[in-house]
């Protein structure tokens, strides 16, 4: 069958933080989504089963685990419930990484990935922590996104743009929100 396609933490960080740009992160293409899926699906599956010691061995390894669990599924499984399936594991790993101070031990332009699993949560306490972390981080663009995510959770208790993918019925208020230009994330 060939060699294992489970990638290392270094391979993940090199690809996501060195090969790609911020534009790639936030404005993906079908080709990039396919590449992430082909290259990292086995790694994502393995981490969904167990985040092993090598993925917690250093701040960069913790960063890689969070990228695999929080960012990659949004590319690999776009417009599918699988895009959010490992969010709870990403949140757990983010909290462990924050407790270990891992976010402060990586370059500034990578720290926000430690906070994003909290921003992706539909729990208001996670959202409040996300906003606090982004305030301390000091990047206005990321803070604006964090506040906007929290505002949606305050208003609706969930992200209405996920309803169709997750088989949830939108309320009238959510349907009106989703009809607005630029609604969702």
**Residue 104, number of CB atoms within 10 A of its CB:** 11
Token pair in block for residue 88: 């709870």
Cβ(90)–Cβ(110) below 8 Å: no
Contacts of 80 (CB under 8 A, 6+ apart): 165
Instruction: Provide, rounded to the nearest whole percent, the portion of the chain with pLDDT above 70.
Output: 98
What is the model's pTM? 0.93
Beta-carbon contacts of 119 under 8 Å, excluding residues fewer than 6 positions away, are 126, 127, 130, 134, 145, 146, 149, 150
Query: What structural domains does the chain harbor?
Result: 1-90 (1.20.58.320)
* Contact by Cβ (8 Å): 130, 121: yes
pLDDT at 2: 44
What pLDDT, on a 0 to 100 scale, did the predictor assign at position 4?
61
Q: How far is CA 68 from the centre of its chain?
A: 8
User: What is the mean pLDDT, run by run of 10 residues, along the chain of 185 residues?
Assistant: 78 96 91 96 97 97 98 95 96 98 97 98 98 97 96 97 94 95 82
Are the C-beta atoms of residues 18 and 63 closer than 8 Å to each other? no
Longest dimension (CA), the chain: 52
User: Cα–Cα distance between 50 and 130 in angstroms, integer?
Assistant: 25
Reported as a single tens digit per residue, the pLDDT across 72-84 is 999 999 989 999 9
In this structure, the number of other CB atoms found within 10 A of the CB of residue 22 comes to 10
Residues 6+ apart with CB under 8 A from 138: none
How far is residue 133 from each of residues 123, 155, 160, measured CA to CA in Å? 16, 21, 24
């Amino acid at each position: 069958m060939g060699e294992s396609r489970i990638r290392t933490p270094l391979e993940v960080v090199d690809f996501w933080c060195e090969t790609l740009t911020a534009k790639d992160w936030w404005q993906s293409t079908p080709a990039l989504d396919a590449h992430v899926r082909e290259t990292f699906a086995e790694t994502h599956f393995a981490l969904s089963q167990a985040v092993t010691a090598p993925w917690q061995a250093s701040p960069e390894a913790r960063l890689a685990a969070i990228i695999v669990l929080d960012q990659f599924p949004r590319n690999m499984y776009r417009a599918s419930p699988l895009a959010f399936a490992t969010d709870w594991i990403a949140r757990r790993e983010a909290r462990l990484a924050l407790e270990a101070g891992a976010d402060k031990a990586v370059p500034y332009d990578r720290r926000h990935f430690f906070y994003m699993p909290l921003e992706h949560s539909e729990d208001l306490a996670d959202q409040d922590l996300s906003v606090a972390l982004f305030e301390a981080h000091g990047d206005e663009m990321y803070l604006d996104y964090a506040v906007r995510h929290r505002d949606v959770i305050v208003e609706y208790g969930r992200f209405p743009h996920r309803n169709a993918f997750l088989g949830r019925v939108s309320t009238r208020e959510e349907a009106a929100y989703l009809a607005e230009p630029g609604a969702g994330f």
